[in-house]
């Protein structure tokens, strides 16, 4: 984890915190992550560490959630300003926030030594193949499209009347 944090800090010109904590919850369920201002909550399967692939998955998750300190926490679209922690925030740019974070996640792992060039190319190829196989992959519209469904970018919450 230290190498991941150091690589992210070097990439971004410094770290926006004095102390950062990765809270790892090992459960019987598959999980994911959630970034916070000075920590990330990472839920993983309790048997994740039985092989090298599990360690790699944790490294990906940690790099991803860590980079959200910049992308979404500090760099965000106006639909997320200011944060309203009483409920969900709605944005049509989630595809950008997550996609850009996944891209930089790869760069952090490459710089930290968790990935080499060949592994990076294999992962990118696998990700692209998985994306192309998803229904609707070639018919999705961008956030700027007038037919995009969902709240307007300036909308904070769905309204009920």
Predicted confidence band at 151 (pLDDT cuts at 50, 70, 90)? very low
* Residue 32 covered by a domain: yes
Quick one: three-class SS letters along 105-122?
HHHHHHHHCCCCHHHHHH
In sequence order, the 6+-apart residues with CB closer than 8 A to the CB of 14 are none
* Residue 155 covered by a domain: no
91, 156 contact by CB (below 8 A): no
- The answer to whether the bond into 135 is cis (omega within 30° of 0) is no
* Residue 150 covered by a domain: no
* Residue 18 covered by a domain: yes
* Residue 144 covered by a domain: no
**Domain CATH number, residue 46:** 1.10.390.10
What tokens were used for 129? 């193949």
* Residue 54 covered by a domain: yes
* Residue 157 covered by a domain: no
Q: How far apart are CA 85 and CA 83, in angstroms?
A: 6
The pTM of this model reads 0.77
> Which three-class secondary structure state does DSSP give residue 26?
strand
Q: How far apart are CA 27 and CA 7, in angstroms?
A: 28
31, 45 contact by CB (below 8 A): yes
Highest mean pLDDT pick, 4-8, 13-17, 121-125 = 4-8
Domain carrying residue 7: 2-83+91-133
- pLDDT value for 142: 57
* Residue 125 covered by a domain: yes
Predicted confidence band at 148 (pLDDT cuts at 50, 70, 90)? very low
pLDDT tens-digit map of 75-119: 777 777 776 778 777 777 777 888 889 999 999 999 999 999 999
- pLDDT value for 156: 38
Query: Looking at the 3D structure of the chain, how many domains does it have?
Result: 1
Question: How far is Cα of residue 143 from the mean position of the Cα atoms in its chain?
Answer: 18
């Amino acid at each position: 984890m230290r190498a991941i944090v150091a690589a992210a800090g070097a990439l971004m010109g410094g770290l926006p915190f004095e102390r950062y904590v990765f809270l790892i919850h090992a459960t019987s369920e598959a999980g994911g992550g959630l970034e916070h201002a000075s920590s990330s909550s990472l839920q993983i399967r309790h048997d994740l560490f039985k092989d090298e692939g599990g360690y790699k998955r944790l490294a990906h998750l940690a790099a991803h959630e860590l980079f959200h300190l910049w992308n979404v926490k500090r760099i965000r679209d106006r639909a997320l300003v200011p944060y309203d922690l009483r409920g969900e925030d709605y944005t049509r740019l989630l595809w950008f926030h997550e996609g850009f974070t996944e891209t930089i996640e790869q760069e952090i792992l490459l710089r930290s030594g968790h990935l080499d060039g060949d592994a990076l190319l294999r992962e990118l190829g696998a990700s692209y193949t998985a994306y192309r196989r998803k229904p609707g992959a070639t018919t999705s519209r961008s956030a700027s499209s007038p037919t995009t469904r969902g709240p307007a970018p300036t909308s904070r919450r769905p309204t009920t009347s």
